[in-house]
Amino acid sequence: MWVYEKKLQYPVKVSTCNPRLAKYLIEQYGGADGELSAALRYLNQRYTIPDKVVGLLNDIGTEEFAHLEMIATLIYKLTKDATPAQLEEAGLGAYYVNHDQALYYQNAAGSPWTATYIQAKGDPIADLYEDIAAEEKARATYQWIIDLSDDPFLNDSLKFLREREIVHSQRFHEAVEILKEERDRKKIF
């Protein structure tokens, strides 16, 4: 189903070790509106969505895994040279005690990722509106992390991800219109 290339979708860099920014980015790694949740949501919903838009969910769900890889790389780069004291100062002391510097799916507040983040109603239009909301929440989160960041390299990557969230939201809006048109079409037997 996939062809894996050993390169990121968009190059990621950071200026310096910054565990504080890594803590914020963890939200997009294992939070309710993060990349893992989005990827799993879309790839799950594709089984109950009409054929006219199933490819969209597959494409965007797959892209979300690429975004997850970018976020993981950024978190790694922001923490790889951090001392335990720096991690503790950034609010990652408990994280360090439990995981050292390994990546773990949790949100920025420290709550582990849970399948309850995944929504699937089985109504294609309702599911697509949920997807639009998820993309808009992810876009807002990226913007808020950019607002807190003074790292131009990190911000470049986050701006790319923020823009992809906007594109995904637009594509989901288009899919809703396709399905509404299909639903509202007069059927003559």
Residue ranges at the known binding site for Mn(2+): 35, 64, 67, 135, 168
> What is the SS3 assignment for 173?
helix
Helix axes 51-79, 152-184, angle to 10 degrees: 170
Q: How is 64-115 classified by DSSP, letter by letter?
A: HHHHHHHHHHHHHHHHTT--HHHHHHTT-HHHHHHHTT----B-TTSPBP-G
- Measured in degrees and rounded to the nearest 5, phi and psi for residue 112 equal -65, 150
Which residues participate in the annotated binding site for Ca(2+)?
59
Q: Which of 59, 71, 7, 4 is nearest to 33 (CA)?
A: 71
Which residues participate in the annotated binding site?
35, 59, 64, 67, 135, 168
